[in-house]
Structure 1
Amino acid sequence: MGDHRKLFSISINLFSVIFLFSFTLADDAAIMNKLADSLSPTPSDWSGSNPCKWTGINCDSSGRVTSISLASKSLSGSLPTDLNQLTQLKTLSLQNNQISGALPSLSNLTNLQEVYLDNNNFTSVSPSFLSGLTSLQIFSISENPNLATWLIPQDLAQSGSLVTFYASKANIGGTIPDLFGSFPNLQSLRLSYNNLTGTLPSSLAGSEIQNLWLNNQVMGLSGSIDVLGSMTQLLQVWLHANGFSGAIPDLSKCTLLFDLQLRDNRFTGLVPPSLTLLPKLVNVTLQNNKLQGPVPDFPSGVEVNLGTTTNSFCNSKPGPCDPQVTALLAVAGALGYPMNLAESWEGNDPCQSWVFITCQGINVTVINFGKQGFTGTISPAIANLTALRNLFLNDNNLSGSIPDSLTGLSQLKALDVSNNNLTGKIPQFPSGVTLKTTGNLLIGTNSSQGGGGKSDSGSNTTSPDASPSGKPNATSVSSGLIAGIVIAVVVFICVVSFVFYKCYTKKHHQKPQKGKEVVKNGIVGTMNGYAGVKSELHSHSSGDNSDIQIFEGGNVAISIQVLRQVTNNFSADNILGRGGFGVVYKGELHDGTQIAVKRMESGVMGTKGLNEFQAEIAVLTKVRHRHLVALLGFCINGNERLLVYEYMPQGTLGQHLFDSSVNEYPPLTWKQRVTIALDVARGVEYLHSLAQQSFIHRDLKPSNILLGNDMRAKVSDFGLVKNAPDGKYSVETRLAGTFGYLAPEYAATGRVTTKVDVYAFGVVLMEMITGRKALDETMPEDRSHLVTWFRRVLINKENIEKAIDSTLNPVDETYESICKVAELAGHCTAREPSQRPDMGHAVNVLGPLVEQWKPSCHGEEDSYGIDIHMNLSQAILRWQSDEGTSTLMDDLYSSHTQSSIPTKPSGFSDTFNSSDCR
């Protein structure tokens, strides 16, 4: 009996294996039949029940599909969604066809080794597309320009056997992930012609990459390329047409490198001599940078484009620079070769209009780097400028110590290194040198010996009045101190008397001006819709906060010291958000007034962009609308640009829609959502109207109107919309660069028009209706992209009810309103720009829906200087009439000088000068 039972069990198990095997084979055949049905034209011999006999299909001995090879077959159509059920698939070759639609997930195809999808018309990528591909060696998806923006997934780290990754012209966004420690065999990485941003990941240093193509990113990769110096296996490097900056690193260890493309970036500093000695190098491009120093001398066998007219070399041919130029470039090198120095320090004579340099005759006598935001160290090479008399390095972020070599400058009279981060011992300077070192908390202890040590009132100064021994004369110090106190008291009394006199005369004689309020109790009053800013922003650097100011909108130059103070030195704890052009910080003044400070990164724009920036300020200060956040002021600090706005305390629309449970925000009612949507539409419509009024810079391309191209990020600076009736919510208008809001034409070709904004607005409407984010990777694949899913919902009006945010629970009247807004959202997100309405249409649709909730009093609207019930042309004319802006275009066209922005608003403190902010 036992033998019979054992035989029966074996039979059952064998039957189960055969059954499962047959079922799996049937699965492969079913999926291959779906593939045949979805492709057009179907390959001629793809018939019959056994796909292993079809052309281009290979199977293993058990009949499982292992390879699909359909390259260059002129195929169109799409791919089935369950392609990843071909679990034995090793090779997928579909390149050089016209296959379109979504790319199905290949997740968990653990046997898949090679994927060729390049040169097709795919439109989207699943977030889990490359998950679990543990055997993947070659992946190629280049030349798929119609793909919606996607990110290189972190899941790719699971593909530890990866050798080749090609994804050029595949519309990849975001940053390059720091995954390269996971790929010990990776040799080729090609990501050209995408929209990657950020810096090169540090893990590249440990990789075995030989071919690195990152050229021609839309916005441009940035930062240094120092990591290349550790990539000893490099053969070919294409980094051209980006925004890389800093110096070219020492590549002497990259002895296999034969092709180096660095043109059209923002490189500064000297070309390292080691670059000319690389034994394999045959091709190099360096033009259209700001490289400095001697012209590099490459061997005759190297094809090189130096761009001697587009860089800042000291001569047009190889050879040493003037000794003073060499010394100054070493000084710049210790600071990291700042861009503003590279743009000015051209030629071989530093006495020919070099910025921050003053000469007497042919000798450099003054270096004034004060308040430039420089980082780095103080170069000992300064000692080679033997005629130097004054050296000002104050109010920067310099570290390290004061070089001892500076004590040998026989002509030196003044050295100011105050307010840095210097450390170490203070050198012994001669008695005739005035030395200032205050504000360096970690600098060495003060010495009572020698001329360089004794500190007076914490200022660490020495003066010619010191005794020969270096010890101050007690009598002279005492008498000098008494005299100084007497003078200070007299000056103080005079100043106080003058201030009281000015306050009295202003109070009794100044006539009220429309739309302006005098500052009271140290606070700047609200004017024409601009929120108040404490007067310390106007006069802090002068040390006098008692001046009564008249606030002139955003024409307020604010010192970098004040902005550092109110943002706690730009603390990471104060970061409100990050954008492509910089970081936004929250600031709080001493009276509790909150502001938002947009700090544009130093690599974004150089000195040559100063006039454009100032012309923008001239426009932004005139832009007024009750739904736009006000620009309060600006700061130009060296190569840095900062803008100050009123702060919106109640968070963003996204926080109220998506994060209400986490952030304890109450969910928005439908009434609130529609009202916000109308305010957004009115705000954006107003911006579009300004664009139509030709508020553009003459020196920019015609497409770069106020809402155009590289000025988009600058528009977003003030493109926050305030919600009626309480004006407390800030709502991002979701401009083109925001991931998940890309209009098709922007995603494929980078074109930016007002219709891109309309598309983005349609996405915001969908978010308001559904309470869902534009891109939600936690949702199933067919529902993760809001626009694609919601447009399918709109096909049948009965489906809308199921898509509505569950917190709304609409009644019949509200449901009809939601349907109208849903229809508008569909029109706004039409694929073809010509099929999308203008923003004015959105205002017309939403206006009647809000009309039933409109407050009976319109006083608040009128107080902003804009009657939103006027048509736009009437509003523009009224604005120009009230503000005298009919000549604004002439002002802009003459903005090539700094006079396009008043250096001081009316009533501005005379002691606050331009150097405080530059």
Structure 2
Amino acid sequence: MDVASYSLLFMCFLQSVRAILDPNDFLALQSIRKSLHDVPGSNFFASWDFTADPCNFAGVYCVDDKVVALNLGDPRAGSPGLTGKLDHSISKLSALADLTVVPGRIYGPLPQSISQLKNLRFLGVSRNFISGEIPAGLGQLRNIRTIDLSYNQLTGTIPPSIGTLPQLTNLILCHNRLSGSVPSFASAFSLTRLELKHNALSGSLGPYSLPPSLHYLSLSWNKLTGPVDRLLTRLNRLNYLDLGLNQFTGPIPTQIFSFPLTNLQLERNQFSGPVQPVNEVTIQTVDLSYNRLSGEVSPMLANVQNLYLNNNWFTGQVPGSFVERLLAAGIQILYLQHNFLTGIAISPTAEIPVSSTLCLQYNCMVPPVQTACPFNAGKRKIRPAQQCNRR
């Protein structure tokens, strides 16, 4: 074969092979590989042979000569994951749009250099042992849509700059050790999911601190205080709301019961005043237990399947519509214990469906039916008369 023919054949061969990976990306992958290891039982890195094309590695996805997605670890359920630290050289993957780390034993801080990944849209590093503070530079990732750093050991505050990200849709920082106040997300107009539960966040929430775009809001198990009625009336797109186990005060706004919610969890706070929905409430689960709510139980709550009103200051008779729904198995859980209720129109011989649970003990009446109550309801069936006389 002459030289001209050989050259033509070689050029055809090159055209049949995709572009060689960018050298910076190649070196970055090598550094990442050196800093991470398979946990026993994982075989994720078996394909990471750098004598071959890195774009064929498990978890590596390329477009042309650049890595655009990096999913570290076997995504199948039950995989033991990886151990080691995330190397700062990950920032050299300049076209990276998706960075995911499966649950495992990765420890150490989240590299500050991640803030250099200007094309990043998805950052998911959950259920590992990431520690230290959230890099303030994440607020520079103007294209990011999801940040999930949940179930780690992060400390410090939530950088205020994260609350200004224009494309941010999901922020999931639950189950960490974060402290300080909740920053303002007023300008995060795309935010639909905010999950900050199980931290040590404190302070109050301003009436305009969260955007009305929210569909899912979970702030439970923190140390948050103050009223939220003005804030909540603006969040009329919510379909899930959990503010439980905080120290919120003030009234529960009437409007919230007409939101398209499936779960409303406000338990174990210091909410006070009456609960007076205007229309029938169709929320599947409503938990208002362990507050300071008062007045009569509204018949508008009779269509709620799981209703927790226990450990409040409710008074008066239980509306007959609750009894009708309960006996028809329309209510699955009705907890009314530890209030100041004075009666309920239910026959002592009434047969409560097996699928339904009713607890009435420790009110200002003798429970007309004997039902199984949760253990923490105690053994006393009736509230002392002197307490009832003061109401």
Normalised by the size of structure 2, how large is the TM-score? Answer: 0.70
Q: Residues 234-259 of structure 1, C-alpha deviation per residue, up to 9 Å, x if partnerless?
A: 11100111111111112258431221
SS state at 1:181 partner: coil
Contact 2:134–2:157 (CA under 8 A) maintained in structure 1:
no
1:136, distance to aligned residue in structure 2 (A)? 0.5
> Structure 2 residue aligned with 1:43, among 42, 45, 63?
45
Q: Given residue 89 of structure 1, which amino acid in structure 2 is its aligned partner?
A: L
| 2:101 matched residue in structure 1 | 94
Contact 1:232–1:253 (CA under 8 A) maintained in structure 2:
no
d(CA) in 1 for partners of 2:195, 2:89 = 28
| 1:223 matched residue in structure 2 | 226
| 1:176 matched residue in structure 2 | 182
Task: Check 1:171–1:186 CA distance in 2 against 1; reply closer, same or farther (3 A cut).
Answer: same
Task: Check 1:157–1:286 CA distance in 2 against 1; reply closer, same or farther (3 A cut).
Answer: closer
d(CA) in 2 for partners of 1:158, 1:300 = 40
Contact 2:285–2:307 (CA under 8 A) maintained in structure 1:
yes
1:126, distance to aligned residue in structure 2 (A)? 4.9
Q: Given residue 30 of structure 1, which amino acid in structure 2 is its aligned partner?
A: L
| 2:213 matched residue in structure 1 | 208
1:26, distance to aligned residue in structure 2 (A)? 1.6
Task: Check 1:84–1:142 CA distance in 2 against 1; reply closer, same or farther (3 A cut).
Answer: same
Q: Given residue 156 of structure 2, which amino acid in structure 1 is its aligned partner?
A: W
Aligned positions of 1:223-372 closer than 5 A: 223-226=226-229, 227-251=231-255, 254-274=258-278, 277-278=280-281, 280-297=282-299, 298-307=301-310, 310-315=311-316, 317-318=318-319
> Structure 2 residue aligned with 1:110, among 107, 115, 118?
118
Aligned positions of 1:706-855 closer than 5 A: none
1:187, distance to aligned residue in structure 2 (A)? 0.8
d(CA) in 2 for partners of 1:200, 1:172 = 16
d(CA) in 2 for partners of 1:40, 1:159 = 33
| 1:31 matched residue in structure 2 | 28
Aligned positions of 1:147-166 closer than 5 A: 147=154, 149-166=155-172
Aligned positions of 1:512-527 closer than 5 A: none
Task: Check 1:158–1:229 CA distance in 2 against 1; reply closer, same or farther (3 A cut).
Answer: closer
Task: Check 1:59–1:125 CA distance in 2 against 1; reply closer, same or farther (3 A cut).
Answer: farther
- The runs of 5 or more residues in structure 2 that have no matched partner are 1-18, 39-43, 321-338, 343-391
Q: Residues 111-148 of structure 1, C-alpha deviation per residue, up to 9 Å, x if partnerless?
A: 1001111111112235334131111011111111x33x
| 1:80 matched residue in structure 2 | 87
| 1:187 matched residue in structure 2 | 192
1:32, distance to aligned residue in structure 2 (A)? 0.9
1:158, distance to aligned residue in structure 2 (A)? 4.5
d(CA) in 2 for partners of 1:28, 1:65 = 7
SS state at 1:168 partner: coil
Task: Check 1:127–1:236 CA distance in 2 against 1; reply closer, same or farther (3 A cut).
Answer: same
SS state at 1:237 partner: strand
| 1:680 matched residue in structure 2 | none
Q: Given residue 190 of structure 1, which amino acid in structure 2 is its aligned partner?
A: E
Task: Check 1:300–1:66 CA distance in 2 against 1; reply closer, same or farther (3 A cut).
Answer: same
Aligned positions of 1:387-466 closer than 5 A: none
SS state at 1:131 partner: helix
1:164, distance to aligned residue in structure 2 (A)? 0.8
d(CA) in 1 for partners of 2:256, 2:125 = 37
| 2:136 matched residue in structure 1 | 128
Q: Given residue 102 of structure 2, which amino acid in structure 1 is its aligned partner?
A: Q
d(CA) in 2 for partners of 1:45, 1:23 = 18
d(CA) in 1 for partners of 2:304, 2:277 = 17
Max Rg structure: 1
d(CA) in 2 for partners of 1:315, 1:165 = 43
Task: Check 1:244–1:303 CA distance in 2 against 1; reply closer, same or farther (3 A cut).
Answer: same
Higher relative strand content: 2
SS state at 1:83 partner: helix
Q: Given residue 131 of structure 1, which amino acid in structure 2 is its aligned partner?
A: G
Task: Check 1:205–1:40 CA distance in 2 against 1; reply closer, same or farther (3 A cut).
Answer: closer
d(CA) in 1 for partners of 2:98, 2:246 = 34
Percent identity for Structure 1 against Structure 2: 27
Normalised by the size of structure 1, how large is the TM-score? Answer: 0.31
| 2:378 matched residue in structure 1 | none
Q: Given residue 108 of structure 1, which amino acid in structure 2 is its aligned partner?
A: Q
d(CA) in 1 for partners of 2:84, 2:262 = 42
Task: Check 1:192–1:140 CA distance in 2 against 1; reply closer, same or farther (3 A cut).
Answer: same
RMSD: 2.4
Aligned length: 292
d(CA) in 1 for partners of 2:200, 2:134 = 18
SS state at 2:105 partner: coil
Question: Is residue 140 from structure 1 mapped to residue 148 from structure 2 by the alignment?
Answer: yes
Q: Given residue 291 of structure 2, which amino acid in structure 1 is its aligned partner?
A: N
- The runs of 5 or more residues in structure 1 that have no matched partner are 1-21, 320-344, 349-918
d(CA) in 2 for partners of 1:116, 1:87 = 17
